[in-house]
Amino acid sequence: MKRILMVSYFAPPLLSAESILVAKTLPYLAEYFKIDLITVGPDPEYKRDEQLLHHMQHENLRIFRYRNPKFSNKILRRLYEKGIRKIVDVNIAWMRNVLAQHHGNVNLADYSLIYSRSQPGTSHLVALEFKRQLGIPWVAQFSDPWAHNPYHSSNRVDERHEERVIHAADRYVFPTVEMCDLVAAHYRSLNIGERSKVIPHCYDASLYYSRTSKENGITLAYIGDFYGIRSPEPLLKALSIIQEKEPILLQNVRVRVIGNVESKFRALIDTYKDRVSVPIDLVGQVPYLQSLEKMAESDILLLIDAPSDVNLFLPSKLIDYFGARKPILGITSTKGTAGQLVGAFGFPVIDPLDAEGVANGLMKMIKELPSYQEKARNNVYDRFSAQEVAREFRDLFASLF
């Protein structure tokens, strides 16, 4: 059985979207390969989820954790990161610790392939150094764009690092065609598309404990964070429109937000509480398995994206929604993989800027909920199962040995 060197800054027990993706994929990938995972140790910016760590355990998986020295004080940490990212990668200290220590813990000659995933891009920079040392095949996976993310400003340092990685990696993995095309457009001479594979995020069916709603009435649930320009306002406007048009529809409806909500959006939600009769519960971030339970207890799951012409992203929570087998209201661009998938499975997709359209879509779902529930139960989501995604990675890796 081949041994793979995997580099992912985020992994359980840290609670982050990338950690969750790692936890869902690795147990199944470890059925095909021996894997040495390089990841970070404790990080003061992130909560811990020990259940995720327990789920990821496998006899073919070894985990090596290396410290990333950070200020425990949040203000000092932000000031440091703001200054250093103009010069070098913000996690340069972690990278140095990995490169200085890992060769003493293993025999590097045992590795047949390098597999790195981001964010952050530091994981790819570590993999780049191992690629130079070992000369073995390297697969770099991008869950989000690095230097050309339309929602996050980058600088010349990010661009330079990404360029080095793109030139050195043997294969690239992206969650959407749109993201692949974005990167390819910046490196036209490298034929990125020919060396890339689109592999979606996955869900693990074994982690869902219930699929039956446990509360009276209809619960609308959004699992994720509201930050930056990803706002709850499209939903809030839609609820206020329904309140004016058909208030009786909202009599037994409640909204639940499971995730972090920036203070500006908390204030926004407060302004709408007087306009609509719907209770809005801000639950906050919860352990991953608990978030799946919340999905299973809900009646309609909400995908709310920031406004965009073409949505480059595939939210990992959308794939978890598939696994929960609940109706989905897609408040996202109709252009892009996320919206296309929601629509293909028979659920409404409305642009975030179309409040009237969101209201009409939600009213239709409430009125016809049993038929949407049946559709959700019968849809075939096997393409997004952890087993199937692991097989795709197996085939990709095997083609490089």
d(CA 346, CA 375): 7
Locus of tokens 């499209």? 234
Residues 93-105: pLDDT tens digits?
999 999 999 999 9
pLDDT, the chain, mean = 93
Burial of 330 (0-12, 13-18, 19+ CB in 10 A): buried
Do you know the residue count of the chain?
Answer: 401
Please determine whether the domains at 3-202+385-398 and 206-382 fall in the same fold group of CATH: yes
The angle that helices 288-297 and 316-324 make with each other, rounded to 10 degrees, is 50
DSSP state of 189: G
Bridge-partner residues for 328, per DSSP?
A: 301
| Strand pairing report for 218-223 and 3-7 | unpaired
* Residue 214 in tokens: 């446990």
Strand order in the sheet with 300-304: 280-282, 253-258, 218-223, 300-304, 328-331, 349-350
Phi/psi at 169 (nearest 5 deg)?
A: -70, 150
The answer to whether 147 touches 118, Cβ cutoff 8 Å, is no
| pLDDT class of 215 with cuts at 50, 70, 90 | low
Residues 141-196: pLDDT tens digits?
999 888 877 777 667 888 999 999 999 999 999 999 999 999 999 998 888 889 99
Residue 250: partners with Cβ closer than 8 Å, 6 or more residues away? 239, 242, 243, 276, 277, 278
Residue 386: partners with Cβ closer than 8 Å, 6 or more residues away? 24, 25, 27, 28, 202, 203, 204, 205
Neighbour count for residue 312 (Cβ, 10 Å): 26
| pLDDT class of 212 with cuts at 50, 70, 90 | low
Query: Which pLDDT score is estimated for 214?
Result: 58
d(CA 311, CA 60): 37
The answer to whether 165 touches 140, Cβ cutoff 8 Å, is yes
Domain boundaries, the chain: 3-202+385-398, 206-382
- pLDDT over 90 (residue 234): yes
Q: How far is CA 385 from the centre of its chain?
A: 15
Neighbour count for residue 319 (Cβ, 10 Å): 24
Query: Which pLDDT score is estimated for 209?
Result: 76
d(CA 66, CA 42): 9
- DSSP secondary structure letters along 24-87: HHHHHHTTTSEEEEEEE---TTS-B-HHHHHHH--TTEEEEEE-----SSHHHHHHHHHHHTTT
Query: Which pLDDT score is estimated for 4?
Result: 98
Looking at the structure, give the CATH architecture of the domain made up of residues 3-202+385-398.
3-Layer(aba) Sandwich (3.40)
The three-state secondary structure class of 199 is coil
The more confident residue out of 304 and 228 is: 304
d(CA 347, CA 81): 42
Among 82, 87, 77, 13, residue whose Cα is nearest residue 46: 13
The conformational region for residue 96 under phi > 0 = left, psi -120 to 50 = alpha, else beta, is alpha
Query: Which pLDDT score is estimated for 7?
Result: 98
206-382 under CATH 3.40.50.10860, yes or no: no
